Structure 1
Amino acid sequence: MLENLIETYGEGAILMALGGLVGVLFGATAQHSRFCLRAATVEVAEGKLGPRLSIWLIAFSAGVLAVQTLIVLGWLDVSQSRQLATTGSMSGAIIGGLMFGVGMILARGCASRLLVLSATGNLRAIVTGLVLTLVAQSALRGALAPAREQLASLWLVPGGTMRSLLLQTGLTSTLAAMIAAVALGAALWHSHRQSVKTSHAIAAVGVGLAVALGWLGTYVVAMNSFEVVAISSVTFTGPSTDTLMGLVNSTELPLGFGIGLVPGVFVGAGAMALATKEARIQRFGPDSPMEVYLIGAALMGFGSMLAGGCAVGAGMSGGAIFALTAWVAVGAMWVGAMVTQRVLHRPSLVIA
């Protein structure tokens, strides 16, 4: 059946539809669960193991469990994904991850969170997200590209065995899935102790399942297509730049997973916000100076392209397949965010 659909509509259209479905699921569950890496890092930086941390841990462990289970069952093979098969940059993961971590504290949200908030009527998130996307495009193909390439070339790792944490450590997907199952149980127990609403915890699981669905869907399309189709999952900086540049630079959008993902997330988050009566207009104000948000957006735009992904693209999608650079990048994001949070909130330091 899928072969017939691909023959009739083409790989691009099928991938765009898949991206839209995954996006709706991610957007709705991320909005309802308040899934946010920045919020989790703020709690830890302040010495708390609170509800936001439990939500992030639930989503992350659910994503790892679902993806590794699919691999164990033989339904998914991620060995040819970009995060594992191609040359990666450890220097990019470290430097870019640190920049992204600093930026998401200043902008009060990572790339995915800004997109979700934009759908709820948050004008700060819309403006910040646009700046993030423009800087990311500049880092990918524009004036900032030479700087990104120079930093990325400082420490490279070849694709294959060297980029797989499982192969490097000798762990199997079965063991990884078992560890993730234990981690998910612990995160759910912690969320209960933190009085997290059951619906929020379930929605956090949905965030992880959206990541797994992205990997599975693109893999199935790739296996049924006569064309070369890159398998991928949820990530935001790259697809956002492709969508924006396609809208302003071309009369036709190149169809693909990312082109469906971004509007799908917007629709899913917006629908959830309307259903729960949480949609409202929010603007910049005295307690939310625009210049701080824009600096954060610029750091995240450049940092995500240097690190090879955003907090979801590296932290969730790359983390779920145990890509070495993805784990290093998300670790650097945690460090950058926590240090920034501690510095900005020292008693002797006053920030406008």
Structure 2
Amino acid sequence: MLNEAVDLLGEELVSLLGGLLVGGLFGFFAQRSRFCLRAATIEFSRGQGGARLTVWLLTFASALLGTQAFVAAGLLDVSEARQLAQQGSISGAMIGGLMFGCGMILARGCASRLLVLSANGNLRALLSGLVFAVTAQSAYRGLLAPAREWLTSLWLVDGGPSRDIMSVIGGGTPEKLGFSLLWLLAGLAGVARFRIGLRVTLAAVATGVAVVAGWLFTYQLGQASFAPVTLKSLTFSGPSAELLMQVLASPHLRPDFDLGVIPGVFLGSFAAAALAHELNLEGFFDGRGMRRYLVGAVLMGFGAMLAGGCAVGAGVTGASVFALTAWLVLGGMWIGAVMTDLVVDRWTMSRKPAQQAGDLAGRAAS
């Protein structure tokens, strides 16, 4: 079927439509499941557990297990994926992951979550997403590129087996499948413990399946095309930056998979919110809140380009092929998010009542 579509429409248009469909799938089910790494890390850091952490576990496990199942069946070969085949940066993964984790707490959402919320009418997320894309482009090819390149060059790792975390520790496909299954069991345990409904559970699984669909589509397109096709799946940092530059600086958009992902996610999330009657315009309440969002967006934009991916691009897509740097990025995101939540939100907020009481006492004494 894909061969016929390429012959009829051309490789570029088929790639674009594939990005739209995969992005739409992700956007629709991410909106319905409330998939959000930030919310999951907050529940974890506060020792609460609950629906958000369970949804993230289900999505993460579905992406890992689905990808590795197709690899084991011989229907997918991820050895040529950028996350494995090309040279990577350990220093970029560590520092970028920490920065991204801090930023997503401040901006109240990762890159994909901001895009999903923007489609629902959240103007705070829309502005933060635009600042994220501008910063990512600056870190990629603009003013911030020298800083990114310097930090990236501090600790490099060659492409190939040395970038496959399971190969490094002496494992293979069976071990990857077993490890992925453990994550799924953890998610299912959360479903039972916190009584997550069937619809949310299936939506969370479908969100992870969208990542698998991206790998399968680009791999099969490469098999059907005479020209080289980059093997990839969902990510938001690079495509957001590239889409912004094409819209601003090019009279002709270059159709490809990445170009379809961003509008696809937006349309999928919009459709899900419209069907559930959840479209609602929201804005900033004060200047202080706005500053927080903007600082977070800048940290995420630079951190994502330094790390080689966002919470989905590295934290789920890259992790699903067991890329060493992706797992380091994911760990950095969790650490940065937990630390930021502890210092900025919990510690600062706990001091405010005491400070307000002290101010009142001082005024009374005067």
TM-score by length of 1: 0.97
Contact 2:19/2:260 (8 A) holds in 1: yes
Aligned AA (2:341): Q
Residue 364 of structure 2 is matched in structure 1 by: none
Residue 244 of structure 2 is matched in structure 1 by: 244
CA deviations 1:214-235 (Å, max 9, x no partner) are: 0010000011111111100000
Q: CA deviation at 1:170?
A: 2.1
Distance 1:150 1:78, change over 3 A: same
The secondary structure found in structure 2 opposite 1:234 is coil
The secondary structure found in structure 2 opposite 1:289 is helix
Residue 150 of structure 1 is matched in structure 2 by: 150
Which one has the bigger helix percentage? Answer: 2
CA deviations 1:188-208 (Å, max 9, x no partner) are: 221231122221111000011
Tell me how far apart the structure 2 counterparts of residues 35 and 4 of structure 1 sit (CA, whole Å): 35
The secondary structure found in structure 2 opposite 1:102 is helix
Alignment of 1:227-238 (within 5 A): 227-238=227-238
Residue 357 of structure 2 is matched in structure 1 by: none
1:202 aligns with 2:202: yes
Q: CA deviation at 1:348?
A: 4.7
Alignment of 1:31-110 (within 5 A): 31-110=31-110
Contact 1:69/1:174 (8 A) holds in 2: no
Alignment of 1:140-289 (within 5 A): 140-286=140-286, 289=289
Number of equivalenced pairs: 351
Aligned AA (1:301): G
Q: CA deviation at 1:9?
A: 2.4
Distance 1:348 1:183, change over 3 A: closer
1:127 aligns with 2:127: yes
Aligned AA (2:38): R
CA deviations 1:17-42 (Å, max 9, x no partner) are: 11111011100110000100000111
Q: CA deviation at 1:128?
A: 0.5
Tell me how far apart the structure 2 counterparts of residues 6 and 179 of structure 1 sit (CA, whole Å): 37
Aligned AA (1:188): L
Tell me how far apart the structure 2 counterparts of residues 64 and 236 of structure 1 sit (CA, whole Å): 18
Tell me how far apart the structure 2 counterparts of residues 144 and 349 of structure 1 sit (CA, whole Å): 36
Q: CA deviation at 1:288?
A: 6.8
Tell me how far apart the structure 2 counterparts of residues 142 and 98 of structure 1 sit (CA, whole Å): 22
Contact 2:94/2:328 (8 A) holds in 1: yes
1:320 aligns with 2:351: no
Tell me how far apart the structure 2 counterparts of residues 350 and 90 of structure 1 sit (CA, whole Å): 39
Contact 2:57/2:186 (8 A) holds in 1: no
Tell me how far apart the structure 2 counterparts of residues 111 and 5 of structure 1 sit (CA, whole Å): 32
Unaligned residue ranges in structure 2 (runs of 5+) = 354-366
Q: CA deviation at 1:183?
A: 2.5
Which segment drifts farther, 189-198 or 134-143?
189-198
Tell me how far apart the structure 2 counterparts of residues 133 and 4 of structure 1 sit (CA, whole Å): 35
RMSD: 1.4
Residue 12 of structure 2 is matched in structure 1 by: 12
Q: CA deviation at 1:244?
A: 1.4
The secondary structure found in structure 1 opposite 2:285 is coil
Q: CA deviation at 1:237?
A: 1.0
Unaligned residue ranges in structure 1 (runs of 5+) = none
Contact 1:87/1:157 (8 A) holds in 2: yes
Alignment of 1:275-314 (within 5 A): 275-286=275-286, 289-314=289-314
CA deviations 1:137-192 (Å, max 9, x no partner) are: 00000010000000000000000011001211222223322332242133122123
Tell me how far apart the structure 2 counterparts of residues 288 and 48 of structure 1 sit (CA, whole Å): 28
The structure with the largest alpha-carbon Rg is 2
Tell me how far apart the structure 1 counterparts of residues 319 and 351 of structure 2 sit (CA, whole Å): 35
Q: Percent of aligned positions with the same letter in both sequences?
A: 50
Distance 1:162 1:339, change over 3 A: same
Contact 1:122/1:280 (8 A) holds in 2: yes
Contact 1:103/1:299 (8 A) holds in 2: yes
Tell me how far apart the structure 2 counterparts of residues 186 and 298 of structure 1 sit (CA, whole Å): 33
Tell me how far apart the structure 2 counterparts of residues 216 and 4 of structure 1 sit (CA, whole Å): 17
Residue 335 of structure 2 is matched in structure 1 by: 335
